[in-house]
A and B are shown apart, each in its own frame.
Chain A
Amino acid sequence: MSWIKEGDLNLLEKISANVLKAGPMPKHVAFIMDGNRRFARKKNLERQEGHMQGFNKLAETLRWCKHLNIPEVTVYAFSIENFKRNKEEVDGLMELAKQKFERLLEERENLEKHGVCIRVLGDLNMLPLDLQEIIAKAVVTTREHNKCFLNVCFAYTSRYEITNAVREMAWGVEEGLIRASDVSEALLSECLYSNNSPNPDLLIRTSGEVRLSDFLLWQTSHSCLVFQSVLWPEYSFWNLCEAILQYQLNHKSIQKARDLHREHQALQQLEADRACVAEHLQHHGNGKPVDAQRRQEALLHYTDCREERVQDFLEALKHKRDSFFNDLCSEAISA
């Protein structure tokens, strides 16, 4: 089964898609594709076959998303917690992933035609080296594509991602690129694996479970959460439409909550900058009172400097991450 499914929607689907598209549409949808194993048990199939069908459903869902003008999709493929499953199943999943990423490389031209960019979020170091290399190749080949984006969370948990972001910021401090006082909510977001994507508008979990299971906890704090009882391999176009309709019903109130949060965040940053400037002036002002104008100038100057520091740091971080993939790729070629 390939990653890209060609084909149009049928008439009824097309009309429904157009009706939905008259309302606000999510730009980024995240999926917890739960229920492959229960599906296999229900249909008396091998567990691996359940995972296979789950993957096929993903390809189909991507096609629907394309027709619904949803440019970005993030899926939870493999959690760090999943390493706890029995060896046979973990090996099977690794093998499946290897096959699928190899297949993806074969479909390179098709991906280019549709402009699909694949990103893998997670700690690749936890995976077998051959899988790491194939993933790196897939990521590097599709890096420049910019029409649709598929983020695959692999060897991922959200807590690990947040911890890793803190570690990266601490690295920046060690390298002298940023100061501890530069750490902010916005900067932390930029250090997550998902830094290239906007936050998901809609998160869908299938199979009736009503929890997030350590998936995108930071990014979905103002997303619409939809829990559906259908098992993932049985997911249909109409299930997706229902979820989108739910998003549309929630759209206004969530937008309001987001705006409130953004305001709050800006205020927080301003306060932090003010505190730093006040401290600086106290140290260098020899205790003399500082008039309002000078204080304002100092604040502007400080903000500029901070932004510059943060920019430099983010550039260095991006370089570090890119070269991780590049190195893996060239290793694979030389091997």
Chain B
Amino acid sequence: MPLLYSLLWRFLLVLVHVNRAIVSWLRVRLRSWKGRLWERAVAALLLPFALTGFPDHQKKLNHNSDANATPVTGNRTDSRRLRWLSDGKSLEKLPVHIGLLVAEEEPSYTDIANLVVWCMAVGISYVSVYDNHGIFRKNNSRLLEEIIKQQQELLGVEGSKYGVEFLSNGTDKHVVSCRPTVKVLSPEDGKQRIVQVAQQLCRSVENKEKSSKDISVSMLDILLRESKNVPDPDLVVKFGPVDSTLGFLPWHIRLTEFISLPSHRNISYEDLFGALQQYSVCQQRLGQ
């Protein structure tokens, strides 16, 4: 009997994997089809089957055809930039701080750079990039180069005036200090940073500068925010098949919305915009 159950379990797992593969394959196919009716019909058919933890959004499918319909005239990069900016303005609300959580092995720098540039182009002020291996932190400069390159490619010379400020742990080099800000995060900024702050507080207790009773939530919050007044991330877009935060800033994600996309490889602007649309309709009640 146990053998039968374990066979059944394996079969079930295979079934779910196959289902996922079909769903993601069809999603790619859908993107190339123009017919709106088709998209809606197939999307409606797929919806009940999609076994995904973080709810994906179907709206992006609709948006796709709108985007393609926009006539491209004059300077390509100019019109693109204006379109992205107006896309950002068309949303009811836009995150001030977005986190890009890469839960995949072997990240693609170009795709991440594209995502960062799109986020900035729609008008998001703070972009954090995170992976739990600390790969981006280690290859900080490579990512920065890639971002500057993609910025020029996607937004043209005009667009480069955005400038990028690179923050990592507050001590590393600062490039150009002008908004928007890109921050590269690793697990060290998460629990380890909280431990550092705890140690710092305990040290001042040891030196009789503070009493244990003085320690409060707001005191910790201020210390964890560092000198920069960066708000907590409003939205984390997670890429990859793992449904976990993988140590992404535990203190700061109290009210963060999580939206999941299957992969960051070959990601399109429409995928990102779909996630932003989904975020813009979320309501927060703050305990009320």
Residues of A at under 8 Å CB distance from B? Answer: 18-23, 79-85, 157-160, 162-163, 165-171, 173-174, 179-181, 183-185, 188, 208-214, 217-218, 220-227, 229, 242, 245-246, 248-250, 253-254, 257, 260-261, 264, 268
Specify which of A169, A211, A248 is in contact with B256 (CB 8 Å cutoff). A211
B243 touches A211 (CB 8 A): no
Closest partner residue, chain A, to B254 (CB atom) = A214
Q: B interface vs A, CB < 8 Å?
A: 2, 5-6, 8-10, 12-13, 16-17, 51, 53-55, 103, 132-133, 187, 190-192, 194-195, 197-199, 201-203, 205-206, 210-213, 215-217, 219-221, 241-248, 250-251, 253-259, 282, 284, 286-288
CB within 8 Å for A18 and B5 given contacts A213-B255, A227-B54, A245-B12: yes
A175 to chain B: closest CB distance in Å?
9
Known: A163-B220, A188-B198, A225-B243. 19 other contacts (CB 8 A): A22-B8, A79-B287, A84-B288, A166-B198, A166-B201, A167-B212, A170-B212, A173-B206, A183-B195, A211-B255, A211-B258, A212-B256, A213-B287, A217-B254, A224-B243, A224-B244, A225-B244, A249-B241, A261-B247
Selected from A158, A170, A224, the residue in CB contact (under 8 A) with B205 is: A170
The reply to whether B254 and A212 contact each other, CB–CB distance below 8 Å, is yes
Smallest CB separation, A101 vs chain B (Å): 22
Residues of chain B contacted by A213 (CB below 8 angstroms): 254-255, 287
- Kindly identify which residue among B10, B192, B203, B244 contacts A250, using a CB–CB cutoff of 8 Å: B244
Q: Are B244 and A210 in contact (CB under 8 A)?
A: no
User: Whole-angstrom distance between the alpha carbons of A184 and B198 in the complex?
Assistant: 9
Q: Which residue of A lies closest to B3 (CB)?
A: A22
Q: How far is the CA of A226 from the CA of B256 in the complex (A)?
A: 15
B202 CB to closest chain A CB (Å) equals: 4
Inter-chain contact B243/A246, CB cutoff 8 Å? yes
- Rounded to whole angstroms, the CA-CA distance of A229 and B132 in the bound complex is 28
User: How long is the Cα–Cα vector from A106 to B213 in the complex, in angstroms?
Assistant: 38
Contact of B244 among A158, A208, A254 (CB under 8 A): A254
CB of A174 within 8 A of CB of B205, answer: yes
List the A side residues contacting B51 at CB < 8 Å.
Answer: 242, 245-246
With A79-B287, A160-B217 as known contacts, state yes or no: A229 contacts B206, CB within 8 Å: no
Q: Cα distance A245–B17 when bound, in Å?
A: 11
Closest to A250 in B: B243
Contact A257 B286 (CB under 8 A): no
The answer to whether B192 and A268 touch across the interface, beta carbons within 8 angstroms, is: yes
Q: Which of A167, A211, A221 contacts B247 (CB 8 A)?
A: A221
- B218 shortest CB reach to chain A, Å: 9
| 10 A-B contact pairs sorted by A residue (CB < 8 Å) | A23-B9, A162-B220, A173-B202, A183-B198, A212-B254, A217-B250, A225-B258, A248-B13, A249-B16, A253-B241
Give Cα A174–Cα B212 distance, bound, in whole angstroms.
8
**CB pair B191 A185 closer than 8 Å:** yes
Closest B residue to A252 using CB positions:
B242
